[in-house]
Amino acid sequence: MSERIVLGIESSCDETGVGVVRLYDDGRVELLADEVASSVEQHARFGGVVPEVASRAHLEAMIPTARRALAASGLGLEDVHSVAVTAGPGLAGALLVGLASAKAYAAVLGKPLYGVNHLAGHVAADTVQHGPLPSPCLALLVSGGHTQLLLVEDLATKITEIGSTIDDAAGEAYDKVARVLNLPYPGGPPIDRLAKQGNPEAIAFPRGLTGPRDAKYDFSFSGLKTAVARWVEERERAGEPIPLADVAASFQEAVADVLTAKAVRAATELGVGTLVISGGVAANSRLSGLAGERCAEAGIELRVPRPRLCTDNGAMIAALGAHLVAADVAPSELDIAADPALPVSTVSI
């Protein structure tokens, strides 16, 4: 029973992703292909993802992306042992495209289907780069739609949310602050770039939910976004120039400070030796830099997958599928429904 091939399909937001991995008997997962078609440019002028535009793009991209992934893997569909697909959370219409396609592949191949959790997929992404996760480990998931601290006891079966944002996600805060600063969408990369030329201590922006009585593992970024907007508007009204790089650096410092402080505190208090940071915002240079410093001080191993694996892709879904196969989790039925609000504790449906 060696070397099982898993095909992974992702369509929860604005990326159509198809990945192929190979699962070895010892549990190692090797990345064979990772093809992504993005509709991000079609959403840019709207300042955020337009669900119907994303769904239409998924339909156009699905088969071509699957063909590219198979070609890149050097394998044929007949080599596939299981099909994994994002069943949620995400945009309902977008999820449905990938899920319907995955069901048809599974039906033709006569192979098991695994409808999986997109957020667990973000954590699984790290395993194709850094190998199996130790148990337990802590995951900080930071993306456009989510900001969560997860206790991962078993990637295939036991993920517990121990904290999450009570308002905006970290990526959402980047995108909103980018609008305030007249930077393009998505806002993460341009703010990250600008921040490198600014002074992170220039402006003391608030650190949400860091008071002694606040929920210690939860996050809040909407106050930070408002504080940035207020600061900028006041300067504009006074006719003063906006020091864009300093605003970007100070905002980014506030985000990275809160995320890493809470993650390291959770790992320490829970006695967990490994922290994984994943999701689109994990590509942020200051977040990974500061996390590196603080984890080293606390004696915690830090794992951050390369940026390509942090944003939405099919390889992470294939990787999670491989872990489900390895753990002998029962496959999904072919009549499963997409669940736009699937909780992270439900790894597969």
Partner 1 sequence: MLVLALDTATPAVTAGVVALADGSVPRTLARRTTVNARAHGELLTPHVREVVAEAGITLAELHAVVVGAGPGPFTGLRVGMVTAATFGHALDRPVYPVGTLDAIAVAVDGAEPLLVATDARRREVYWAAYDAAGNRVTGPHVQRPADLAERLPELAVRRAAGQGAELYADLLGLPVAQPWHPSPDALVAVAAKDLLTGADPAPLTPLYLRRPDAEVPVARKRVTRP
Ligand X SMILES: Nc1ncnc2c1ncn2[C@@H]1O[C@H](COP(=O)(O)OP(=O)(O)OP(=O)(O)O)[C@@H](O)[C@H]1O
Interface with partner 1, residue 53, by CB under 8 A: yes
Q: Do 118 and 10 meet the contact criterion of CB atoms below 8 Å apart? A: yes
Strands 29-38 and 15-23: antiparallel
Cβ-proximal residues to 119 (8 Å cutoff; 6+ apart), any chain? 89, 141, 146, 148, 150, 344
Residues in binding contact with partner 1, number by CB under 8 A: 41
β-bridge mates for residue 161, sequence order: 150
Based on the shown chain and the rule CB under 6 A, indicate whether residue 12 belongs to the binding site for ligand X: yes
Closest CA to 345 of 131, 179, 164: 164
Q: Does 334 bind partner 1 (CB under 8 A)?
A: yes
Task: Locate 12 and state its tokens.
Answer: 């929860």
Binding mask 197-226 for partner 1 (x = CB under 8 A): -----------------------------x
Q: What's the rounded Cα separation, in Å, for the pair 190 and 339?
A: 32
> Considering only residues 8, 17, 88, 90, which one is a binding residue for ligand X as defined by CB under 6 A?
90
In this structure, what token pair is assigned to residue 59? 């339909």
**For residues 264 and 300, is the Cβ–Cβ distance under 8 A?**
yes
Q: Among 16, 65, 117, 143, which residue interacts with Mg ion (rule: CB under 5 A)?
A: 143
Pick the stretch among 40-48, 241-249, 280-288, 295-303 that binds partner 1 (CB under 8 A). Answer: 40-48
One-letter amino acid at 35 equals: E
Q: Segment contacting ligand X (CB under 6 A): 56-64, 182-190, 208-216, 320-328?
A: 182-190
Residue 280 contacts ligand X per CB under 6 A: yes
Determine if 189 is a binding residue for ligand X (CB under 6 A).
Answer: yes
Q: Is 242 in the site for partner 1 (CB under 8 A)?
A: no
Contact assessment for residue 122 and residue 47, using Cβ atoms and an 8 Å cutoff: no
User: Given the rule CB under 8 A, which of 116-124, 227-235, 298-306, 313-321 is the region that contacts partner 1?
Assistant: 227-235
DSSP-assigned letter for residue 345 = T
Q: Which of 6, 95, 267, 281 binds ligand X (CB under 6 A)?
A: 281
Number of residues that bind ligand X (CB under 6 A): 22
Identity of residue 241: P
Which residue's CB is nearer to Mg ion, number 86 or number 250?
Answer: 86
Query: Residue 29's closest CA among 137, 158, 140, 126?
Result: 126
Instruction: By CB under 5 A, name the binding residues for Mg ion.
Output: 143, 312
Instruction: By CB under 8 A, name the binding residues for partner 1.
Output: 45-47, 50, 52-53, 55-56, 58-59, 62-63, 66-67, 77, 92-93, 96-97, 99-101, 103-105, 107-109, 179-180, 226, 229-230, 233-234, 237, 334-338
